[in-house]
Structure 1
Amino acid sequence: MRAKLQVSDVQSTATSERLSLRAVCKTGGYPADGSDEDNSFAKWTPSAELTMTINNPDLLGKFKIGDKFYVDFTPAP
């Protein structure tokens, strides 16, 4: 399964960041012809939230509010 999430909040400390992401959505609706990719993701995954803390110093400062990411869910052994 693949979801498309957007960074909604970044809380930084000296050694980590707490990221909050939510399902993509658009205020005011999407084009009727379905040409906006977010439209499809919002239709099939209308609600999602993910919060994670990152301690990897190479990733600190890389995530900005409004950035969009695909998140893939693959079964793990």
Structure 2
Amino acid sequence: MGIDDIVNQGKAFLDQNKDKIEETLKSDQAEDVSDNVLDAAADFVKKIAPDSVDEQIDGVRDNIDSKIGNE
């Protein structure tokens, strides 16, 4: 099985389960998990990046968060 076969299987899986995947991404559980992961990632980046980019980091974090979960 080649990479093309794996990619095609992945695409088929996504197509067949699109509604379930979308429902899961908009769930309370996805909101909680995404908040925790995004907060940890943003905090990590803020520790190593200059303070001058903190606002941009928060903006990216909020933008991603708006796409996952229900809030």
Q: TM-score, normalised by structure 2?
A: 0.23
Q: Which has the higher helix share?
A: 2
Larger radius of gyration: 2
> What TM-score comes out, normalization by structure 1 length?
0.22
Higher-strand-fraction structure: 1
